[in-house]
Amino acid sequence: MADPFHEHCFSRMVEKVSDYAIFLLDTAGIIQTWNPAAQAMKGYPAHEAIGQPLAMLYTEADRQRDHPRHNLEDATRNGTFQESAWRQRKDGSLFWALVEVIAIRGDDGRLEGFCKMTRDLTNLKDLQDRLAREKERAELTLNAIAVGVISVDDAGLVEYVNDQAQHFMGWSREDARGLRTEQVFDIVPPGEYSADEARLAREEIKGTPPRSTRILRARDGTRHVVETRQSAIPGRDGMAGGTVIVFHDVGERQGMEAALRDADRRKDEFLAMLAHELRNPLAPVSAAAELLSLGKFDATAARKASQVIIRQVRHMTALIDDLLDVSRVSRGQVTLQLASLDMKAVVSCAIEQVRPLIESRQHTLAITLAPALAHVKGDEKRLIQVIANLLNNAAKYTPPGGAISVAMSVADGVVCIEVADNGIGIDPAAQQFVFDLFEQVHTTSDRAMGGLGIGLALARSIVHLHDGAIGCESAGLGHGSCFRVCLPRLAQDQTTPERRVADRLVEVPHAPVRLSVLLVDDNVDAAEMLKFFLTAAGHRVTLAHTAGAALDAVRSSIPDACVLDIGLPDGSGHDLAVDIRNVANPPPVLIALSGFGTARDRTLANEAGFDHYFVKPVELEAFARVFGGIRPRRIPPRAAD
């Protein structure tokens, strides 16, 4: 029999406990006692709980699974039963409980009942759930970022690695956990760096926390250039609790930075070369113009000076056209005029263009054309441009008296043209960049002959637009070069080559009908030259150099045609065209004159009401054809000759 004093003390203690519900059950699981903490926790007063089965405190789901009986059976077998689970209050609400059921046995070992203790841990459960969600969110974030993260404990053993760290290092999270840091985060010693790695890896002593650039060796032996940072994890009592290592691959970034520096270098070289190339033709143009202005030349000398100006202007126009071509190709604005072409004729035309340069440098030219048909579907002008560019380069970069060869082969549905020379050659390291825009791999004095470093880039783009391929080979400096262009060959039943119209000199045509023309351009010299051409053709030309003066002239007498510069000092040629159409009804034929020739520029001109569009410098033959098709507003009396 229990000591009454001890029973009284135990009863008083149970009554005083505030955070544990403590009560006794008989062997059948019927509640026998009920302390105040049980009443506060579960909502049942003592008279409602005592005498009721333990199952009243379980959820409906637990009762259906007969958990109350199973819990008592476990306690009977093992002496005690413990679990953390949801329990139910009188009002139906749930709380997270730490439950322990203790079997009570007599001196003879027989089961006399149970003591059940319950503690409400709902707040702790909420905190644990929040921490679990925060941990999950943190891991999702760490795995989403593009940097590697390694957590190391104070003993130097890996605790955690994120997805990026696994990717860079080649170690899975499971394999890395528990290993020493240096086993998974394998930094290559500086003494083992390659020359390129030594250039990329550098110390960065600034910044907090300290950063450094190192070479990381992955588990499979591959190497990455990484920038690393380390931060200590605060522990107890101010002691370090471990380390977090954050790193990311900077090899791609450094490669991009190097590419940008290289592009900037090539841009500077290109601008210097552009200035050089434009000054070359400007010098004779300026000299010839000044000599002509003296008025002391006879007709023969004046003609020679004029021919100098014409040749040099054509040269500058070709340079500018190359620049515009590159811009159009890079933006996908080139439209090919495709037709069935005989590549033998294309090669012949290209040789014809470059032959004066080849002969002036006393080169020997060997030509070998395939006997088979060599037809392709292409743009004749563009393909001539490609072959002429390769021949032009061969002539420029082969010393005088050298040898150039052109060979054509036809096989397996492909037409290939090789242009080879025994010139200065190309360094092997530069061959991969030779087709890059603005790349200048030749630095000999022959650069004085011209070139902006865009010809080969343009050639590659044109060949690719024809679904072809272009490449180069060279054994190195001093061993010549060979460029090869391959294009898809047309089947024999698809070959219907068009006849080419032979080039001819532009002559000043006599206009069938005399027109009154208003010519508006703020460039006085350019306006005077166009006036001279139109007057020589038989037209009457009025000049204006501003939009205001042009509009006054139209109000005074409406011309048959207006040639309007788009860029004027007091307004836009587009606005002037609209004003002229508002003043004159019907309006004169409007012809735009501009230094810009993009598709958008032409669209803006159409919207302003222009009938024709010309890019400076004007192609005089096409210009004359436009005027040949204009009918006068009224037939003026013929002026006496």
Q: Mind listing the pLDDT tens digit for each residue in 73-116?
A: 999 999 999 998 888 899 989 999 999 999 999 888 899 999 99
Contacts 24+ apart (CB under 8 A), 307-312: 308/284, 309/284, 309/285, 312/281, 312/282, 312/284, 312/285
The type of residue at 199 is R
- In this structure, the answer to whether residues 367 and 486 fall within a common structural domain is yes
Q: Mind listing the pLDDT tens digit for each residue in 199-247?
A: 666 544 334 445 677 788 888 888 878 878 877 777 666 566 788 888 8
- What is residue 311's predicted lDDT score, i.e. its pLDDT? 73
**Cα distance between residue 215 and residue 270, in whole Å:** 36
CATH number of the domain at 311, please. 1.10.287.130
- What is residue 235's predicted lDDT score, i.e. its pLDDT? 66
CB 166 within 8 A of CB 173: yes
Question: Which candidate, 44, 49, 115, 38, places its Cα nearest to that of 76?
Answer: 115
Q: Considering the entire predicted model, what is its pTM? A: 0.41
SS3 letters for 94-141?
EEEEEEEEEEEECCCCCEEEEEEEEEECHHHHHHHHHHHHHHHHHHHH
**58, part of any domain:** yes
Instruction: Specify the number of domains making up the chain.
Output: 5
**639, part of any domain:** no
**503, part of any domain:** no
Domain with 48 in it: 4-126
**Cα distance between residue 40 and residue 19, in whole Å:** 9
- What is residue 500's predicted lDDT score, i.e. its pLDDT? 44
**137, part of any domain:** no
- In this structure, the answer to whether residues 151 and 192 fall within a common structural domain is yes
- In this structure, the answer to whether residues 118 and 191 fall within a common structural domain is no
- What is residue 449's predicted lDDT score, i.e. its pLDDT? 43
- In this structure, the answer to whether residues 307 and 445 fall within a common structural domain is no
- In this structure, the answer to whether residues 312 and 193 fall within a common structural domain is no
Block mean pLDDT (10 aa), the chain, length 641: 55 74 92 91 92 91 90 93 90 91 90 92 87 80 77 85 84 86 82 72 46 79 80 68 80 70 68 61 73 74 78 72 65 75 88 85 87 87 88 90 92 91 85 67 43 72 90 88 92 56 46 88 80 84 93 93 91 93 92 82 91 84 86 60 39
- In this structure, the answer to whether residues 377 and 481 fall within a common structural domain is yes
The type of residue at 506 is V
- In this structure, the answer to whether residues 266 and 185 fall within a common structural domain is no
**604, part of any domain:** yes
CATH number of the domain at 442, please. 3.30.565.10
CATH number of the domain at 218, please. 3.30.450.20
